[in-house]
């Protein structure tokens, strides 16, 4: 069930009215209803995979309870290991088993030993990378004695399966989301209105920006060997906006829907393409995942309180695993590797904490320098996106090589019956809106907010892509 | 808010529909609907791209002095051909002879998505189109009753780009008064040098029966024909079976023997189209 589908609209209208009218004063019933709705939402794709969520929920609920009771460190470690093994085991089997077997066979074949292993053809359950990380954070936090376990299985199950963020995040922490299932919910008009604004802004990002860009991106990346430099550069930029519109759009919709149900989810994107350095980019892009890796991998490895060699190891570990988290393909690992390369000098020279605030550009030298830094950061991010989008690493290199060697900047008419530059007009408008609202979560602000909101709705109606329903990119992760 | 959205959908629907109805013709359905009532057109060719890229109407006009129109449309099937004929009749076009390209499409009663989307702006404006869409469109209810739905759901063809192009009067590359769309180049690879027709043939075709009776009722002489294929055609006796079902069927599948004149096995290139049209005029004594 996609957020940008008619089915979801009907589903959510039903959920909203049942939740706020018959169940308004019944907290437990509301939570049970959210749980059932979440399972229906997830089961819409493939009900069989509900078993995985239930298994993950039961194991982590049990482990959390036992961890709180248990004082012996060794036993606590075993309990934590049980949670990690079950969650990562499921993730590894469904997401990475095929990849490891394939690479194992290739490695042996390279030295002349051949195997006859049938491909596993394992179906990847939607959202498995998100909910396994979310449930693991619960047991790890209890192990670290940062939170207490919950005694309500229903609340915990609803926390794991909460439908707005189940399949593509934001990856929530138990300390933030779980207590909300135990708190009385009162419908707040202002809060719900901000939710509607976020839903509409998210839909615009997804249906207008991401899906329009996708048409061009698919055409250009699939035929890169026939494209000229201008089209290839545009293709890479379009992909940057496709993935941003797609993923941040999903997050905005998830946060907005949660607000309509009286829940607060954490911000997942904060205008990442206005970052002045890669470190700032990673504080603004997929915040829930980068902070997850920071808290559960980078800091336990020693973070930056170690020598330069170990710092380097930690940075590469985080970015390579982050790349691998996105999918079982070397292209994602290469993408992570590039970001590690970008990030490392900033860390080693203690520049990674610079720019904690939103960029402020004036008509002066400082402003121009900031713009140049934003341009540079965006350029290297786009370069890494080429690896992320390409089918193979050699495709990515061939794409970049052709972009740098062809040097033909004429406007190409693509076989999708559009000129390669056409989507750029839309992107420029979008960037302008994002720029002027960069200190806020959406652009519906000030005296004319209703007008802006109406324009956004009209934009979705007129420029939205409806004919080819495209899954959100991050569903596959 | 919902009322506002519905009102916007209604207004947008009105604007888009008016623009598509009143703009210059950007596809063959629009062109057909803009023909003058009772206009005289001697020969009309209907079919898929195997007509659109094959019949050079101007050549026929030069050789015979008869006004000819190529209404072949990419991926058109017999349901679409039936629609075009009904639209011609509804316009009371003074038509002397109709040529319908038939090959494996005899087995198919479905329609072309292209023709369906071209017809959608006229769903509430033209009875013939309304009936056609009722038959072929699985989203007929939404397209008919929900304002703007048809433009959003078919955004690739009827969305803002199409609307804007119509609004500013951007002309199509095709000259609809002729209807011929040339293809350039010759067969490049192995895949495009072969074509296989089905081994068996359907017992009958509802659309063919309807076309026959419409032509009879309106005194239009109809000729079915099969456009040329390249030498890589594996006919499997299909065209002979077709001939047994359609007495007024002319098989030109092997009329062009030089593969250099094909752009792909089922499509002649511009030069091939000229050669074939000339031979067609002779073969049919036009």
Among B1, B12, B156, beta carbon nearest to A461: B12
Tell me the C-alpha to C-alpha distance, in Å, between residue A349 and each of A2, A278, A318, A366, A374.
Answer: 44, 13, 18, 22, 19
pLDDT at B281: 93
DSSP 8-state assignment for residue B236: T
Q: What is the pLDDT of residues B63-112, one digit of tens each?
A: 999 999 999 998 899 999 999 999 999 999 999 999 999 988 888 888 88
DSSP 8-state assignment for residue A364: S
pLDDT at B1: 76
Is B155–A454 a contact, with Cβ atoms under 8 angstroms apart?
no
For residues B131 and B154, what is the distance between their CA atoms, to the nearest angstrom? 19
Which chain A residue has the Cα nearest residue B12? A462
Q: Which residue has the higher pLDDT, A380 or B187?
A: A380
Query: Is residue B269 in a domain?
Result: no
Report the DSSP pairing between strands B267-268 and B262-264. Answer: antiparallel
Q: What is the pLDDT of residues A383-401, one digit of tens each?
A: 999 999 999 999 999 999 9
A286 is catalytic: no
Measure B187 CA to nearest chain A CA, in Å: 19
Contact A162, A177 (CB under 8 A): yes
- Hey, is the C-beta of B9 within 8 angstroms of any chain A C-beta? yes
Measure B143 CA to nearest chain A CA, in Å: 13
Query: Is residue B234 in a domain?
Result: no
Report the DSSP pairing between strands B94-101 and B40-46. Answer: parallel
Is A461–B155 a contact, with Cβ atoms under 8 angstroms apart?
no
> B7 CB contacts (<8 Å, ≥6 apart)?
none
Contact B195, B234 (CB under 8 A): yes
Backbone angles phi, psi at A134, to 5 degrees: -70, -45
Query: Is residue B67 in a domain?
Result: yes
Tell me the C-alpha to C-alpha distance, in Å, between residue A122 and each of A94, A470, B182.
Answer: 6, 22, 47
Q: Residue B15 pLDDT more than 60?
A: yes
Using a CB-CB cut-off of 8 Å, the residues of chain A touching B114 are none
pLDDT at A178: 94
Collapsing DSSP states into helix, strand and coil, what is residue A279? helix
Q: What is the domain count for chain B?
A: 1
Q: What is the pLDDT of residues B203-244, one digit of tens each?
A: 888 999 999 999 999 999 999 999 999 988 888 888 888 888
For residues B179 and B170, what is the distance between their CA atoms, to the nearest angstrom? 17
In the numeric block, the tokens 């095929």 are attached to A98
**Domain ranges, residue B137:** 2-182+208-229
Mean pLDDT for chain A overall: 89
> B167 CB contacts (<8 Å, ≥6 apart)?
B19, B23
Backbone angles phi, psi at B273, to 5 degrees: -60, -40
> A404 CB contacts (<8 Å, ≥6 apart)?
A229
Per DSSP, the residues of B215-239 read HHHTT-EEEEEE----TTEE-TTHH
Among candidate residues A149, A286, A326, A442, the one labeled active-site is A326
Among A196, A457, A464, beta carbon nearest to B152: A464
Which of A389, A371, A342, A373 is closest to A236 using CA atoms?
A389
pLDDT at B53: 94
Is A418–B148 a contact, with Cβ atoms under 8 angstroms apart?
no
Report the DSSP pairing between strands B195-196 and B94-101. Answer: unpaired
Long-range contacts, A275-278 (Cβ 8 Å, 24+): A275/A355, A275/A374, A275/A377, A276/A354, A276/A355, A276/A359, A276/A370, A276/A373, A276/A374, A276/A377, A277/A346, A277/A351, A277/A352, A277/A354, A277/A355, A277/A373, A277/A377, A278/A339, A278/A342, A278/A343, A278/A346, A278/A377, A278/A380, A278/A381
Query: Is residue B277 in a domain?
Result: no
Q: Phi-psi region for residue A197, left (φ > 0), alpha (ψ -120 to 50) or beta?
A: alpha
Is A457–B5 a contact, with Cβ atoms under 8 angstroms apart?
yes
Mean pLDDT for chain B overall: 90
Query: Is residue B106 in a domain?
Result: yes
For residues A465 and A60, what is the distance between their CA atoms, to the nearest angstrom? 40
pLDDT at A103: 77
For residues B282 and A268, what is the distance between their CA atoms, to the nearest angstrom? 72
- Hey, is the C-beta of B16 within 8 angstroms of any chain A C-beta? no
Measure A145 CA to nearest chain B CA, in Å: 47
> B220 CB contacts (<8 Å, ≥6 apart)?
B95, B96, B97, B98, B214
The pTM is what?
0.84
In this prediction, the answer to ipTM > 0.95 reads no
Which residues in chain A land under pLDDT 50? none
DSSP 8-state assignment for residue A413: B
Which residues of A touch chain B, with CB atoms under 8 Å apart? 196, 418, 454, 457-458, 461-468
Using a CB-CB cut-off of 8 Å, the residues of chain B touching A457 are 4-5, 8
Tell me the C-alpha to C-alpha distance, in Å, between residue A110 and each of A53, A113, A115.
Answer: 39, 7, 11
Collapsing DSSP states into helix, strand and coil, what is residue A285? coil
Query: Is residue B193 in a domain?
Result: no
Among B8, B154, B161, beta carbon nearest to A461: B8
Reported as half-sphere exposure (CB side, CA atoms, 13 A), residue B172 has a value of 19
> For residue B146, what is the enclosing H or E element?
none
């Amino acid at each position: 069930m996609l957020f940008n589908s008619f089915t979801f609209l009907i589903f959510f209208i039903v959920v909203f009215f049942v939740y706020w009218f018959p169940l308004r004063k019944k907290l437990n019933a509301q939570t049970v209803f959210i749980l059932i709705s979440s399972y229906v939402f997830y089961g819409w794709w493939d009900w069989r995979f509900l078993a995985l969520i239930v298994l993950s929920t039961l194991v982590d609920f049990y482990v959390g309870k036992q961890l709180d009771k248990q004082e012996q460190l060794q036993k606590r470690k075993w309990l934590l290991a049980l949670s990690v093994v079950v969650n990562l085991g499921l993730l590894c089997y469904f997401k990475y088993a095929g990849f490891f077997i394939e690479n194992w066979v290739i490695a042996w074949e390279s030295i002349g030993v051949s195997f006859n292993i049938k491909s596993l053809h394992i179906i990847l359950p939607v959202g498995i990378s998100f909910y396994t990380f979310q449930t693991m954070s619960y047991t790890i936090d209890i192990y670290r004695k940062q939170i207490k376990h919950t005694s309500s299985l229903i609340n915990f199950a609803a926390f794991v399966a909460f439908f707005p963020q189940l399949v593509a995040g934001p990856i929530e922490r138990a300390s933030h989301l779980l207590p909300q299932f135990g708190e009385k919910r009162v419908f707040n008009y202002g809060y719900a209105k901000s939710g509607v604004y976020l839903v509409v802004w998210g839909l615009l990002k997804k249906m207008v920006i991401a899906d329009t860009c996708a048409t061009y991106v698919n055409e250009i990346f699939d035929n890169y060997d026939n494209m000229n430099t201008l089209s290839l550069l545009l293709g890479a930029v379009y992909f940057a906006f496709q993935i941003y519109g797609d993923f941040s759009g999903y997050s905005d919709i998830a946060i907005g829907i949660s607000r309509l149900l009286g829940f607060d989810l954490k911000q997942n994107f904060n205008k990442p393409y206005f970052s002045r350095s890669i470190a700032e980019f990673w504080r603004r892009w997929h915040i829930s995942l980068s902070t997850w890796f920071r808290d559960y991998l980078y800091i336990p490895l020693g973070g930056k309180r170690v020598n330069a060699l170990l710092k380097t190891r930690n940075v590469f570990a985080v970015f390579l695993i982050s790349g691998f988290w996105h999918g079982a393909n070397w292209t994602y690992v290469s993408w992570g590797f590039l970001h590690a390369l970008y990030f490392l000098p900033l860390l080693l020279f203690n520049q990674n904490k610079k720019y904690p605030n939103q960029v402020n550009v004036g008509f002066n030298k400082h402003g121009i320098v900031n713009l140049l830094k934003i341009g540079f950061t965006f350029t290297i991010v786009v370069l890494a996106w080429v690896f992320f989008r390409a089918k193979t690493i050699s495709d990515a290199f061939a794409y970049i090589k052709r972009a740098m060697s062809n040097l033909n900047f004429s406007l190409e008419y693509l076989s999708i019956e559009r000129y390669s530059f056409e989507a750029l007009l839309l992107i420029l408008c979008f960037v302008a809106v994002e720029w002027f609202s960069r200190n806020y979560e959406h652009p519906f602000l000030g005296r004319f907010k209703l007008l802006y909101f109406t324009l956004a709705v009209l934009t979705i109606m007129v420029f939205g892509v409806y004919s080819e329903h495209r899954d959100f990119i991050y569903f596959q992760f | 808010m919902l009322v506002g959205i519905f009102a916007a959908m209604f207004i947008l629907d009105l604007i888009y529909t008016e623009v598509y109805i009143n703009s210059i013709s950007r596809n063959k359905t629009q062109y057909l609907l803009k023909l003058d009532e009772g206009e005289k057109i001697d020969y009309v060719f209907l079919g898929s791209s195997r007509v659109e890229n094959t019949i050079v109407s101007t050549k026929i006009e030069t050789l015979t002095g008869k006004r000819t129109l190529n209404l072949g449309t990419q991926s058109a099937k017999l349901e679409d051909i039936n629609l075009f004929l009904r639209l011609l009749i509804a316009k009371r076009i003074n038509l002397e002879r109709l040529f319908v390209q038939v090959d494996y499409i005899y087995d198919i009663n479905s329609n072309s998505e292209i023709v369906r989307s071209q017809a959608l702006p006229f769903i509430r404006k033209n009875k013939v189109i309304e009936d056609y869409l009722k038959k072929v469109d699985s989203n007929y209810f939404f397209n008919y009753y929900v304002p703007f739905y048809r433009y959003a759901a078919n955004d690739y063809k009827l969305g803002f780009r199409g609307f804007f192009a119509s609004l500013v009067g951007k002309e199509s590359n095709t000259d609809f008064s002729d209807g011929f769309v040339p293809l350039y180049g010759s067969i490049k690879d192995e895949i495009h040098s072969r074509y296989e027709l089905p081994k068996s043939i359907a017992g009958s075709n509802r659309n063919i029966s309807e076309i026959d009776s419409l032509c009879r009722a309106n005194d239009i002489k109809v000729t079915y024909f099969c456009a040329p294929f390249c030498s890589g055609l594996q006919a499997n006796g299909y065209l002979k079976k077709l001939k047994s079902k359609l007495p007024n069927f002319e098989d030109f599948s092997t009329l062009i023997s030089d593969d250099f004149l094909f752009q792909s096995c089922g499509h002649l290139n511009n030069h091939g189209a000229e050669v074939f049209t000339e031979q067609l005029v002779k073969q049919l004594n036009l």
